[in-house]
Structure 1
């Protein structure tokens, strides 16, 4: 049974933009799209008060309007919708866990061009054990593609590159699998970024330590990517082993990207859920869609 691409809807502009991106991703993957709207369960015994029926009517309208919009734009897409009577984060974690990936909308920080992930989005990202893609409110079809020869936005040009953050010392298979597949589906290059840092004590004590560490970092990145190059021979891979902080290097590499994929380590429940410093940074400052991929 095919896992659907799942998108969370709340009626906002950013969630509708996310639904539009999710529809295109579902078509790229040959998967159905499932629209989900969460609403708290009604009180036991129900109620005949009209003011309590209004939220339920609004929820149905959110789903109906989104379905009409997506059906009109993507008539070949198999589409379903569901209202889940549970708190939003719980509903999205459950629905996202049963999907291939979960897509959520996110507002842009004023003046910074990144993401403002609300409490529901953050709770969801840290708990879903499937990839979660955050899509900002002003994302368009043209933003996925390179500009035309005159520098104008276009939906008919090649896709922008996919960027992935790589820990070459402990490569995460789930993250690399998602990134290579995403690049293959788009027939676009994959830019693999590994940020390394030279301990200050070595820089001071050893002549040539920088060149030695840089060469080792490049070899480690090549080795980490080698099996995935074999699995995806059609994907052009650009390796970037650069000294610096991982978040800063990814922010720079993703400036003209169409999608950025980063990992989120799955921690034991007793340690609590978190996104990790790199994922947290790119969630808040990268303009393109960001895929947070959980991994062991």
Structure 2
């Protein structure tokens, strides 16, 4: 069964940017696009009475805009008679990926009202892509000073077992569809580092040798985990990005270059009292300029 690219829309500039990004990605992958809108409001203090006709009109407007800009794309719509959190999570289960809109470097807004955004991200069984918007409701995936879309899929790697395989599969599939490179990012060293963002340069003797050995070992591990993906996708350029320092800072620094998309992971099963999406994913969601894909993975 062909999985569609699904976009949650609400009529805001953020959801229009998400719809445009989702349409481009669906066209690249040869997949259909489905626009969905949950028309039952989240239960806040005194939710207004839902307006079903207005919700249907909203979907029709989005569908017409997308069809006009992407005439060869198969586009469908679905009005969800439920609240956004439950409806989007349910829709995501059948999606190749779910695309949502965000605004600025801060909390998720628009139809991700209040506490809706994080539950959608952390309960989805499929990848969720968060798309920022520019002032004209275009996806904010252009390279600063360049004006064109970035040409790297930046993927952050921590655990190099099954989690890395899941993230790399998504990154290489995405890169192959758009003719982009994969920049595989891994941080090593203390976090936060006692030496700042750079490795110490004045170490001597055994301490210096141990530091160099650690760096060499991490480099070899990164080469090893990337080897089968290089063979599987020989046409995709691969950049090994190994840096000393804090994982969040290293990933954000890598994403500030030529990134079209940042790929980060989310453990499906996390300890009860832990952050539901992890500190690196939180940092990417709130501070990365390009769209961010949050990919669920097993331990």
TM-score range, shorter chain: 0.7 to 0.9
- Correspondent of 2:104 among 101, 104, 108: 108
2:35 matches 1:35: yes
Q: Which residue of 2 aligns with 1:8?
A: 8
RMSD: 2.6
| 3-state SS of paired residue (2:124) | coil
| 3-state SS of paired residue (1:66) | helix
Cα separation, partners in 2 of 1:211 and 1:23, compared to 1, 3 Å: same
2:189 matches 1:197: yes
- Between the aligned partners of 2:93 and 2:146, the Cα distance in structure 1 is 39
* Matched-pair contact (CA < 8 Å) for 1:168–1:220: no
Q: Which residue of 1 aligns with 2:44?
A: none
Q: Which residue of 2 aligns with 1:140?
A: 138
1:1-296 matches, cutoff 5 A: 1-40=1-40, 52=49, 55-109=51-105, 116=108, 118=112, 119-138=115-134, 140=138, 144=141, 153-154=147-148, 159-167=150-158, 169-170=160-161, 171-197=163-189, 206-256=207-257, 257-267=259-269, 274-296=276-298
- Between the aligned partners of 1:250 and 1:115, the Cα distance in structure 2 is 20
Cα separation, partners in 2 of 1:57 and 1:161, compared to 1, 3 Å: same
Q: CA deviation at 1:55?
A: 1.4
* Matched-pair contact (CA < 8 Å) for 1:168–1:224: no
Q: CA deviation at 1:140?
A: 3.5
| 3-state SS of paired residue (1:172) | helix
- Between the aligned partners of 1:134 and 1:25, the Cα distance in structure 2 is 13
Range with bigger deviation, 270-279 or 160-169: 270-279
Range with bigger deviation, 163-172 or 16-25: 163-172
* Matched-pair contact (CA < 8 Å) for 1:195–1:243: yes
- Between the aligned partners of 1:26 and 1:37, the Cα distance in structure 2 is 18
Cα separation, partners in 2 of 1:238 and 1:86, compared to 1, 3 Å: same
CA-to-partner distance for each residue in 1:205-259, whole Å, 9 max, x for gaps? 7342111110001001001111111111111101011111111000000012111
Q: CA deviation at 1:172?
A: 2.3
The two structures have a TM-score, normalised by structure 2, of 0.84
Q: CA deviation at 1:120?
A: 1.5
The two structures have a TM-score, normalised by structure 1, of 0.85
The number of equivalent residue pairs is 274
- Between the aligned partners of 1:269 and 1:84, the Cα distance in structure 2 is 32
- Between the aligned partners of 1:233 and 1:63, the Cα distance in structure 2 is 40
* Matched-pair contact (CA < 8 Å) for 1:127–1:273: no
Q: CA deviation at 1:40?
A: 2.2
* Matched-pair contact (CA < 8 Å) for 2:9–2:37: yes
* Matched-pair contact (CA < 8 Å) for 1:115–1:287: no
Q: Which residue of 2 aligns with 1:46?
A: none
* Matched-pair contact (CA < 8 Å) for 1:115–1:286: no
- Between the aligned partners of 1:255 and 1:207, the Cα distance in structure 2 is 31
- Between the aligned partners of 1:241 and 1:208, the Cα distance in structure 2 is 18
| 3-state SS of paired residue (2:95) | coil
